Amino acid sequence: MSTSTVKSALAQKSGALIQVRSSDMVVTVLQQMRDNRVRSVLVIDDGVLVGIVTQGDCAIKVLLPGLDAKATMVSQVMTRNPVTVKPEDLLEACMSLMAARGFRHLPVMSEGQVVGVISIGDVVKDIVRDLQRNVGDLMGYIMTDSPGG
């Protein structure tokens, strides 16, 4: 199994934190998602993580009931006090947490500050990198150590 950490996965991503304030309107979240090609946005007020908003939140809590994204505050639709992980946590543990709780995004906290977000896509990319490495190692072993090789 992978022994990759959250920190190593974050290193593969661009460093920009996509964020809004809880007092912003949901339309701002949707613009951030579109412009940055992400599916979740952190809600940070005065340097403190207070929530997270996902595409699903916007669809189910705004679109479905027919609310206006330009007149609905982020605080009305965000998930408050989101579950977070630390840079030293193993991605395998993140994957288990995501599967058990149905999360696709986990904010990463270090010394009280948000340093990034790990998505299910990041975890999958790490697994694929591990598999490619393992296949490469096995191919090398087969080619050098096989009879007649």
All domains of the chain in start order, with CATH: 6-145 (3.10.580.10)
As a whole number, mean pLDDT of residues 27-50 equals 96
Spatial distance between the Cα atoms of 121 and 7, rounded to a whole number of angstroms:
15
Check whether 145 has a pLDDT greater than 70: no
Higher pLDDT, 128 or 27: 27
pLDDT tens for 71-116 read: 999 999 999 999 999 999 999 999 999 999 999 999 999 999 999 9
Of the candidates 15, 56, 57, 18, the one whose C-alpha atom is nearest the C-alpha of residue 37 is 18
C-alpha to C-alpha distance for 110 and 113, rounded to whole angstroms: 5
Report how far Cα 145 is from the mean position of its chain's Cα atoms. 41
pLDDT of 148 strictly over 60? no
Round to whole Å and give the CA distance between 122 and 148: 41
